[in-house]
Amino acid sequence: MTTWRSVWFSLGSNLGDCAGHLQSAVDFICASPSFVDVKVSQVWRTKAIGGPEQPDYLNAVVHARTDAHARDILAFSHACEAQRNRQRDERWGPRTLDVDIIAIEGEAHDTAELQVPHPRACSRGFVLVPLAELADPELLLGSGLVLDTAGMQLTDVVLRVNQKTTNLGAEVESR
């Protein structure tokens, strides 16, 4: 029997067609048979934190149900970034698309490749504010949250979700 559980992704973009990059990530998640019941937060404009001088980001959070293993979810997030030509030249540098795994229901991982829950999510308003639209951040990430919303502004960007839901084993398109 397949065990379905929740996964939360943080999306960010500050190069090129930022809204298009975020929508592409949502589309990629929705198109995958490994993810169902996709929901997405509102989109927020945020100031870059750390790294070099760079443009503002657009950020959102996506929730989905999955039956994939954590290592496969990580590979999926990297594939999602690669399809938008993500370059990893500079730590905390500008990027076309960043897809981070915030949390996986009932799981904790602490390896060089994967840290879940995301170790810095607790102090990032651009994760916590949109996450709060979909789940209780304290339940997912633990106590000690630091909600810094400086430099955050709600945008009028709306990400569309074309999700598959399961109905007695059959996939059905819903909008």
pLDDT tens, residue by residue, 136-175: 999 888 877 888 888 899 999 999 998 665 443 434 343 3
Going from the C-alpha of 10 to that of each of 3, 40, 85, 162, the distances in angstroms are 23, 10, 18, 18
Q: In degrees to the nearest 10, what's the CA dihedral of 7, 114, 118, 151?
A: -100
**In the chain, what are the domain boundaries?**
5-174
Q: What is the DSSP letter of 122?
A: G
For residues 47 and 2, what is the distance between their CA atoms, to the nearest angstrom? 40
Pick the CATH number of 5-174 from 1.10.10.10, 2.60.40.2580, 1.10.287.470, 3.30.70.560: 3.30.70.560
Percentages helix, strand, coil for the chain, rounded to the nearest 5? 25, 30, 45
Q: How confident is the model at residue 83 (pLDDT cuts 50, 70, 90)?
A: confident
pTM of the model: 0.88
State the residue for tokens 């810095």. 120
Give the rounded percent of residues in the chain with a pLDDT score beyond 70: 88
What dihedral angle (degrees, nearest 10) is formed by the CA atoms of 48, 51, 55, 57?
A: -40
Catalytic positions, written as ranges: 86, 95, 98, 100
Tell me what pLDDT residue 166 has. Answer: 47
Predicted confidence band of residue 105 (pLDDT cuts 50, 70, 90): very high
